[in-house]
Amino acid sequence: MGGETEGMGRSGGMSSRSGGGGSEAGAAEEAVTANTEATLMLRSLDFTAEPNSTYRYRVRLVVKNPNHDRSDVNPGVETANEFLIGPWSDPTEFVSVPADVSTYAQLPGQDARRDDVVKFQVVRWNPATGQTVVKVDDAGPGFLIGENGPVQEPSAEGGGAKNVTIDFNSRSIVLDAIGGNSRIPDIGVERNLFTVPAVAMVVEPDGAIVVRSQGADNGDDVRRDMESNYDQAIKDSGKKREAGGGGSRRPGGASSSGGQRAGGRRSGKRR
């Protein structure tokens, strides 16, 4: 038994790939145990998903026909086809894969002399270890978001998180930003301070201009999921785990099982 997955990118292109495991053409016949469950889960993984892309998926079940080329069957039983192919499922909701380096506006900078510096949370997938790491860096107009620096990286070896140096350069540049403490205009009352949430206009590596805002980014489901996974992986680094278990995930790797994996479109208004 196996399956097929069809991925549909936002550009409308399609590609088909096989998923699941089981019998292959030409394999020796094996005893089959009947399954009387009304519903079975079919899971398919897409290892071709590209960073900073959005997909929809359809899946269908493909099984080897045990009656292929047999003559000792009842009339009407399918014998001509080697495989029996089920119908395509309905398309999933959109499944987004964030960029290998993602940036999110978190807070105004702490420099009392400036109101155009923003604290960015930078999320980086490290291909050398397969871990996702999180760091906070300040950036103002004319500066790149993220830089080479130390960070704690989760470990599955049981010896605790490791201190490593990773390049968090997002290749995104801040055009303008605002945020921080400001005084109420002089209208004849006491001019108390109030906090302006951080907002930044950013040029992405592809030349697109996006607006990153503290309000939108703090509530971003993808960001919160990656931050939560990272924090949990750091806590679990003191526990030795079996191969293939635990650890933080690559941002948003796509999977399909007839529904949408946790995560949504990356926020940020393009202009």
Same domain, residue pair 70 and 112: no
pLDDT tens across 16-44, in order?
Answer: 444 444 444 444 455 667 778 888 787 88
Boundaries of domain holding 48: 2-91
Q: Looking at the structure, tell me whether residues 72 and 119 fall in a common domain.
A: no
What's the structural domain count of the chain? 2
262 falls within a domain:
no
Judged by average pLDDT, the poorest of 12-26, 113-127, 237-251 is 12-26
The answer to whether position 146 is within a domain reads: yes
Residue 40 shares a structural domain with residue 168: no
Specify if 265 maps to a domain: no
Q: Which pair of structure tokens corresponds to residue 44?
A: 């398919």
* Same-domain status, 134 and 216: yes
- Domain membership of residue 230 (yes or no) is yes
Task: Tell me the CA end-to-end span of the chain in Å, nearest whole number.
Answer: 47
- Do 106 and 240 lie in one domain? The reply is yes
pLDDT in tens, 180-205: 776 666 666 666 777 789 999 999 98
Do residue 54 and residue 113 come from a single domain?
no
* Assigned domain for 49 exists: yes
Distances from the Cα of 5 to the Cα of 56, 93, 231, angstroms: 10, 14, 32
| Same domain membership, residue 40 and residue 111 | no
Residue 68 sits in the same domain as residue 129: no
Is 68 a domain residue? Answer: yes
Task: Name which of 230, 200, 250, 207 is nearest 99 in CA terms.
Answer: 250
Residues 136 and 239 in one domain: yes
**pLDDT at residue 271, rounded to an integer:** 39
Q: What is the pLDDT of residue 38?
A: 83
